[in-house]
Amino acid sequence: MVTFAGVFAHPDDDAYGIAGTVALHADDPDFRFVLIHATDGEGGDILPGFDATPETLGSIRRAEDEAGWRAVGRAPDRHEWLALPDGGVEGVPAAELVDTIWTILEEERPTVVCTFGPDGIFGHPDHIAVGAATDAAFAQGVADGGPGFRRLVHGVIPQTVFERWNAQRAAVGLPVFDPTAIYHMRGVPDRTVDIAVDTSSVADRTVAGLLEHRSQHHVIFDYPIDVDRWRSVLTREWHTIAWPPRGAGIRRLTDVFDGIAGTT
């Protein structure tokens, strides 16, 4: 049995970075999927005309996320919602956030944990806080010497991919990302990317999952929604390995479990 745990800030964060990986392992009876969301996403922007209010958006986004995983074809075996304030996770005492995440990870003893790196991919303070707390909780698992905690990965966008996507957006008149601005995508140096997962065979399922996040279509997609373009975008998932350290010149891996003894 291998356990993959994803720790994210908002509903739909998970739909971008790990849905393809989960879909690739969906039919493996020895694969366990644990998902942790820090917030319900109640602070998100509401699509104009969408039947939601600030009071109901959190429960709607929970349901959307759960529907998204059904569309992907692999619901989490365990899904924890921490109900922290959307937009306010960085204000939660760090020790409290670490302890909350650790309580779940200690019970599950995951083989691999995925979260945000220091850039939060979009520079979002909630992303960065969740990633830092998950890193600290993972370190506790390594230190206690028990089972699990074989690898910690951070979802990232390679710099060359980021630049290509920005050029494509500019060519069709879409707004481009400013990597110095908060809530804008940013890349990491290609040399720091340790894992590139080919998710092209399950891209349809990843797109189907994203489409279930109906209240956030205007945030996720550019209008009109071009499903074919999104299928082509969602053909890779990239990660850096935060633990254990990797030496220079080591081959790039092709799966989050790649190279871990006792896994396939």
Cross-strand bridge partners of residue 152 = 113, 243
Dihedral, CA atoms, 193, 237, 62, 72, nearest 10 degrees? -160
Position 250 confidence tier, pLDDT thresholds 50, 70, 90: confident
How is the beta sheet containing 78-84 ordered, strand by strand?
A: 78-84, 31-39, 2-8, 112-116, 151-156, 236-243, 195-198
Task: Determine the pLDDT at residue 201.
Answer: 98
Mean pLDDT throughout 250-254?
Answer: 92
- Assess whether pLDDT exceeds 90 at residue 226: no
**Mean pLDDT, range 234-246, rounded to an integer:** 95
pLDDT confidence of residue 262: 74
Find the mean pLDDT for residues 12-27: 96
**pLDDT tier for residue 177 given thresholds of 50, 70 and 90:** very high
Give the model's pLDDT for residue 3. 98
Q: What is the set of domains in the chain, with CATH numbers?
A: 2-243 (3.40.50.10320)
Q: What is the pTM for the complete model shown?
A: 0.96
Q: Cα(136)–Cα(99) distance, rounded to whole angstroms?
A: 9
Q: Give the tens place of pLDDT for each residue, 47-78.
A: 889 999 999 999 999 999 999 999 999 999 99
Region 110-127 average pLDDT: 98
Give me the pLDDT at residue 159, please.
98
Q: Is the confidence at residue 229, as pLDDT, over 90? A: no
Read off the pLDDT of each residue in 219-236 and give the average, rounded to a whole number: 88
Hey, what amino acid is at 74? R
Rounded to the nearest 5°, which phi and psi values hold at 203?
-60, -35
Mean pLDDT of the chain: 95
Average pLDDT of 111-140?
Answer: 98
Residue 264 has pLDDT above 70, yes or no: no
Q: Tokens 């879409």 belong to which residue?
A: 174
Mean pLDDT of 199-215: 97
Query: Does 83 have pLDDT greater than 80?
Result: yes
